[in-house]
């Protein structure tokens, strides 16, 4: 399936289903070749950003914010053709959403406070000197800014 079709589908689905689809797509595009832990960390950053409201109110808003995540950085014609990796990305996204729905003290946080991540083999962001939370596989996770949930 093509990225453009997935992004269109996310506009017609109910909000929770759309967010799950957008998060799955992001995990697939950003980290399908990474460990489960690395994929969960990518999902965690997107969910933390959603909670902050700085990039939008939904996961879809967050991951499609200009130049923030792969859905806006790769060509719309990109095919998500690895069905095994897609199935795993969906599972990880759903598990991450469930985990993130728990009270803050009960969540498993893999990259506490991380607001950004980068795969340095393909990106050299201006904020790469920020506080490094963790490196998992090919990705380094950063606390570029303190993100606080809107309700805090």
Specify the residue for token string 């959403």. Answer: 97
Residue-wise pLDDT tens digits, 8-29 = 999 999 999 999 999 999 999 9
- Domains in the chain: boundaries: 3-108
Q: What is the pLDDT of residues 49-69, one digit of tens each?
A: 999 999 999 999 999 999 999
pLDDT tens digits, one per residue of 94-138: 999 999 999 989 999 999 999 999 987 787 778 878 889 999 999
pTM above 0.85, yes or no: yes
């Amino acid at each position: 399936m093509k990225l453009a079709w997935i992004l269109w589908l996310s506009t017609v689905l109910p909000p929770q289903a759309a967010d799950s689809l957008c998060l799955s797509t992001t995990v697939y595009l950003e980290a399908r070749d990474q460990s489960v832990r690395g994929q969960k960390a990518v999902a965690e950053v997107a969910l933390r950003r959603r909670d902050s409201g700085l990039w939008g109110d939904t996961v879809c808003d967050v991951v499609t914010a200009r130049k923030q995540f792969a859905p806006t950085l790769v060509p719309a014609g990109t095919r998500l053709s690895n069905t095994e990796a897609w199935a795993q990305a969906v599972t990880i996204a759903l598990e991450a959403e469930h985990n993130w729905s728990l009270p803050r003290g009960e969540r498993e946080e893999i990259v506490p406070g991380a607001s950004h991540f980068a795969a340095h083999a393909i990106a050299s962001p201006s904020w790469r000197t920020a506080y490094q939370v963790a490196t998992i596989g090919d990705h380094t996770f950063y606390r570029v800014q303190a993100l606080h949930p809107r309700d805090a």
